[in-house]
Chain A
């Protein structure tokens, strides 16, 4: 092989696995035309909405779009079904705080580039976009276990060269600090952390209801940073550096005062405030495959083995579970017939809550509890509209032990347009049938 170009061609020209049949060009054209018409219709609707707002009915329109509590229930719990709200739904800046949220997820929002976060009230089921001041981007936004706070990286001006770089994605705005948004008061606490050029940041996790831990370094160039360290931020004061905490390649989960970290496929469970000395691996090395969402309750360890092909970036994974025994390697057994999209958390000792693909129902997922002792699986909820926003939402993990509560899934304006379209079609057919009947009756 002569050079990189040849190597790339060799890789791209390898026989591909047999996949689903490709869409016909004519079908792609039809879908493109429909998409364009929908976008035009959406733009018209937006203009009409703006005019309506100017005429003084905006408040009424927004009032209708806000998803109201269902059945007057004020029972606190996780919603048994969730979807994404209408992009025109109000945000906390205009409608006020939503209160402790049971679910934090992303969706598109009118007038905002990229993703916006919305919360689902734990007590009423109300959906509301969260206006998070100075948010740097969609990565690493973390809901506290009690649903009371949302922690996220913030952006702002820097005194040195602005590298517009953060973490691996390189797509967030320059990060200069961290913030905690209070879902009850609507107030935000900010902490500036910046060096001259901004921060190189890693994931944010909550170790309990009040303490958030995070890792960052100060950018020196666009690709390198210095002073990488773990920091902790309690309920009062400012973030404090945890001097001897182990730095990690990835923090996979945090719960009940401890978090699971990964370094080179070796996983460790760290109590809050752990040091390098105390971070001796509680968790033995896992089998050498691609994992996500590795977590433990102290007795079991669970993770999603990403697949099906080992080099895949996408697709469902298989849920694998092992039992921890001191001094013994972990054998990770596969939970049959569970195509896991992600692990939500522990709903009790040895009881795991996972999001799994629904067989035969595209764009929808099921929440299931898995009893790791007996292997019994129960369906407890659904996640809808995954075509409108993929991935798995964040749930307030303190509520995982409580019963799920029936809540309404919001309607999208697309749904209303669909309904209006079918209604108009039905009316047209009725009118046509009536005219035909009259002509024949007259003839």
Chain B
């Protein structure tokens, strides 16, 4: 592989890794898991680098999402998040809302969670979200609708925030 490819890859890692890890954290709910997901995705991206060098982010993002869903499926039934809110400091309304959102996200099925994160955090279009997840646009719509309904049910404190995305 060419030295230019390597330089481009290293520049991409430095620039994109923090954002990818934040997104992976929203998917997994765990920082260690997020770092593992991103690291594994970046290693896998090297093999396809010459094809994706112009715009590597969608490729890496897709690996992260698919790996997360695969890992979740393998561990399903062995470990699961608690259903209620963790007892933590909550000094600001924003902080309360973020904690409520964290607990509610943890209660979503992984694909629903991925749709919510890609649509409303990454700000992808429905088409881009569908491509990232390898599913139909109609499925993105239904998963987003059901995911929002689930969030609203699990975290009533979010109702004000969720109304603005309907």
Q: Identify the A interface with B (CB < 8 A).
A: 1-14, 16-17, 19-20, 22-23, 25-26, 28-29, 31-33, 35-36, 39, 106, 115, 138-139, 167-171, 203, 222-223, 250, 265, 288-290, 292-293, 306, 309-315, 317, 342, 390-392
Contacts and interface: CB of A to CB of B under 8 A. Distances in A.
Contact of A1 (B10, B80, B97, B105): B97
Contacts of A317: 79
Given A28-B13, A170-B111, A313 B121 contact: no
A342 B72 contact: no
Given A7-B101, A313-B29, A1 B121 contact: no
B79 A19 contact: no
A34 to B, nearest CB: 9
A16 B69 CA distance: 22
Contacts of A170: 109, 111
A1 B94 contact: yes
Interface string B2-24: 00001001100110010000110
A3 B164 contact: yes
B158 interface: yes
A340 to B, nearest CB: 11
B32 A314 contact: yes
B32 A22 contact: no
B113 to A, nearest CB: 11
Nearest to A389: B74
A39 B25 CA distance: 29
Contacts of A11: 26, 98, 101-102, 105
B17 A7 contact: no
Given A26-B10, A250-B77, A32 B44 contact: yes
11 contacts: A1-B93, A1-B97, A3-B161, A10-B97, A20-B35, A22-B39, A25-B9, A32-B42, A139-B76, A169-B69, A203-B77
Contact of B79 (A10, A203, A222, A313): A313
B26 A12 contact: yes
A23 B43 CA distance: 11
Contact of B94 (A10, A31, A168): A10
A169 B72 contact: yes
B76 to A, nearest CB: 6
Interface in B13-69: 13-14, 17, 22-23, 25-26, 28-33, 35, 39, 42-47, 49, 69
A35 B80 CA distance: 31
A6 B103 CA distance: 16
A4 B46 contact: no
A167 B146 CA distance: 15
Nearest to A137: B73
Contacts of A31: 43, 46
Interface string B138-166: 00001000101001000000100110110
B77 A310 contact: no
Contact of A391 (B75, B84, B146, B148): B75
Contacts of B73: 138-139, 169, 171
Contacts of A390: 71, 74-75
B13 A25 contact: yes
B46 A36 contact: yes
Nearest to A167: B76
B26 A4 contact: no
A250 B76 CA distance: 11
A309 B121 contact: no
A35 B102 contact: no
A14 B101 CA distance: 13
A203 B78 CA distance: 12
Given A19-B31, A28-B42, A170-B109, 14 more contacts: A4-B116, A6-B161, A7-B101, A8-B116, A12-B22, A12-B121, A29-B6, A106-B74, A306-B79, A313-B79, A313-B81, A314-B32, A390-B71, A391-B74
Nearest to B6: A29
B43 A289 contact: no
B69 A171 contact: yes
The winner among A14, A265, A390, A392 for most chain B CB atoms within 10 A is A14
A311 B29 contact: yes
A169 B82 contact: no
Contacts of A17: 31
Contact of A311 (B10, B77, B86, B94): B86
Contacts of A14: 98
Nearest to B19: A12
Contact of B75 (A2, A9, A115, A314): A314
A314 B47 CA distance: 28
B117 interface: yes
A19 B31 CA distance: 8
B114 to A, nearest CB: 11
